[in-house]
């Protein structure tokens, strides 16, 4: 993978090892379009919640929530296109934004901070989803959370996750 060609991507949800969409990263690794770098934690705190169909969302509101544990990958331009597609960048489901991550044991020193990118809930609904979930976030999308994830092929026919999120975050009943 050429040096200029690599993008550091921090994954925190279904793309992690032992989760439902990791097969995509495994594909990319097999074609040398991705390399696993290691476990990382966000330098700042962020809200991490699950929405409809058990889909995890990192919300771009640093200072709220907790420091998030995830995995760091180096991904080629070609690999990034595949990931952007999965994450629904074009349809405003997620947006890929900068994030600072550290190795677990470097809590105290800021010199270990690395700039990567992560897929955040799109700003069109992210903050409202955080409020809707009672501002209660996780520090990690774990195996038990992963079990609740529903793959696109298993969702109701003609369902549009974005329309359903909009309905969910705009409804008045609070649902924790």
Please state whether beta strands 34-46 and 7-11 pair in parallel, antiparallel, or not at all (unpaired). Answer: unpaired
87 is catalytic: yes
> Which run of H or E residues covers position 13?
none
Please state whether beta strands 66-75 and 34-46 pair in parallel, antiparallel, or not at all (unpaired). Answer: antiparallel
In whole angstroms, what is the distance from residue 7 CA to residue 77 CA? 7
What are the strands, taking DSSP E only, across the chain? 7-11, 34-46, 48-50, 56-58, 66-75, 94-102, 114-121
Among residues 161, 150, 127, which one has the least CA distance to residue 14?
150
Token pair, residue 106, equals 């470097």
Select which of 26, 71, 87, 100 is catalytic.
87
List, by residue number, the catalytic residues: 87
């Amino acid at each position: 993978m050429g040096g200029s060609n690599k993008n550091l991507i921090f994954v925190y949800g279904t793309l992690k090892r032992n989760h439902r969409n990791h097969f995509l990263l495994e594909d990319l690794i097999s074609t040398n379009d991705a390399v696993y770098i290691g476990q990382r934690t966000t330098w700042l705190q962020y809200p991490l919640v699950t929405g409809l169909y058990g889909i995890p969302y990192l919300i771009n509101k640093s200072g709220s929530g907790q420091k998030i544990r995830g995995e760091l990958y180096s991904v080629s331009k070609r690999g990034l296109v595949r990931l952007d597609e999965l994450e629904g960048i074009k349809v405003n489901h997620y947006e890929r934004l900068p994030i600072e991550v550290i190795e677990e044991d470097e809590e105290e020193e800021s010199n270990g901070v690395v700039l990567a990118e992560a897929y955040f809930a799109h700003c069109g609904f992210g903050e409202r989803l955080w409020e809707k979930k009672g501002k209660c976030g996780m520090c990690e999308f774990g195996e038990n959370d992963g079990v609740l994830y529903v793959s696109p092929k298993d969702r109701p026919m003609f369902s549009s996750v974005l329309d359903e999120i909009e309905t969910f975050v705009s409804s008045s009943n609070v649902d924790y």
